[in-house]
Amino acid sequence: MAVYTDLSDAELEAFLAAYDLGAPVSFKGIAEGVENSNFVLETAKGRFILTVYERRVREADLPFFLSLMEWLADRGFPSARPIADKSGQRLGRVRDRPAAIISFLPGLSVRRPTPEHCAGAGVGLSGLHQAAEGFPASRPNDLGAASWKRLFKGLEVRAEALRGGLADEVASDLDQLERAWPRQLPSGVVHADWFPDNVFFRSRAFAGAIDFYFAANDLLAYDLAIALNAWCFDDDGGFSTPRARALVDGYERGRPLSAAERAGLPLLAQGAAMRFFLTRLADWGDDRPGALVRPKDPLEFERRLAFHRRAVRAGGGLDGLLAA
């Protein structure tokens, strides 16, 4: 939730001059998108989101994200669609930052997902995986399994400060994940941030997804593993098997999992917990003055990491996890 770059009416007008959208009718900064500044823009042509891309998004990656959104929207997946300016460009600049206008996607995100929401989140995720098939561009996942040891480097002291013994546990997890990572599973374009914040519902049914700014090529089941972490834990850290079952069932309505994917899911989920633990650990204590956003507690994902560590040891693959 943030507006890092607050645009003036004059800056907006100058930016809009490149587009064929008419004069602005209303323009409001919204508390959406942790990494970017977002505004709801209304013109005679309709409602849009104007996004100013901030420091964490690499400018060179933006064409990948924007073409992916367009590709998905073209194939009937409910993603916002980037709007081209008069010269056909989808990426502009404002206040020396890259910026884009995308269509307004209706729907509401949910705070405490029910199993019904989780089913919808699963349906949406496999819908995305299927719609993205054949997308010609690719982008390595710079926050994928291959990056985690590097991410952890230098953060050992911070991990240890969170809880004594944690640095060694994480190092041992990282060894195990490197050794056992199921690199041969089906891969494709993943959203890589399929959290409730980024998934919209209407009348409790999946209605769309936003924030494709972590999308990359990776294992498809890893995306589901991220979603298991994001949708199926209570605030107190408890794992909800009804929600996890609903998420997987929803996912499989669009794309049934292979036996190897089912077997690998607990480890993939451990890896997903590791990925969010590590980036939160890196952000922890990294206060950005004026960012209007507070770092998220890394211990939330440390607890999930511990849960998955036990599930991997217990064996039994996805079925073991869902029976837990």
Binding residues vs a copy of itself (CB under 8 A): 1, 3, 6, 8-10, 12, 23-32, 40, 42, 104, 106-112, 200-203, 290, 292, 294
Please report how close the Cβ of residue 143 comes to a copy of itself at its closest, in angstroms.
26
Q: DSSP 3-state assignment of 175?
A: helix
CA proximity to 298, closest of 200, 142, 170, 197: 170
Please report how close the Cβ of residue 242 comes to a copy of itself at its closest, in angstroms.
17
Please report how close the Cβ of residue 25 comes to a copy of itself at its closest, in angstroms.
5
The rounded distance, in Å, linking the Cα atoms of 200 and 29 is 19
The rounded distance, in Å, linking the Cα atoms of 27 and 50 is 9
* Residue tagged 């209605």 (tokens): 207
Between residues 164 and 289, which has the closer beta carbon with respect to a copy of itself?
Answer: 289
Between residues 32 and 218, which has the closer beta carbon with respect to a copy of itself?
Answer: 32
CA proximity to 169, closest of 182, 159, 154, 183: 159
Between residues 10 and 17, which has the closer beta carbon with respect to a copy of itself?
Answer: 10
CA proximity to 316, closest of 242, 253, 262, 241: 262
Between residues 10 and 259, which has the closer beta carbon with respect to a copy of itself?
Answer: 10
Please report how close the Cβ of residue 12 comes to a copy of itself at its closest, in angstroms.
8
Please report how close the Cβ of residue 59 comes to a copy of itself at its closest, in angstroms.
24
Please report how close the Cβ of residue 10 comes to a copy of itself at its closest, in angstroms.
6
Between residues 71 and 194, which has the closer beta carbon with respect to a copy of itself?
Answer: 194
Between residues 30 and 57, which has the closer beta carbon with respect to a copy of itself?
Answer: 30
The rounded distance, in Å, linking the Cα atoms of 164 and 162 is 7
Orientation angle between helical segments 166-180 and 259-283, nearest 10 degrees: 140
The rounded distance, in Å, linking the Cα atoms of 101 and 91 is 8
* Residue tagged 């502009």 (tokens): 92
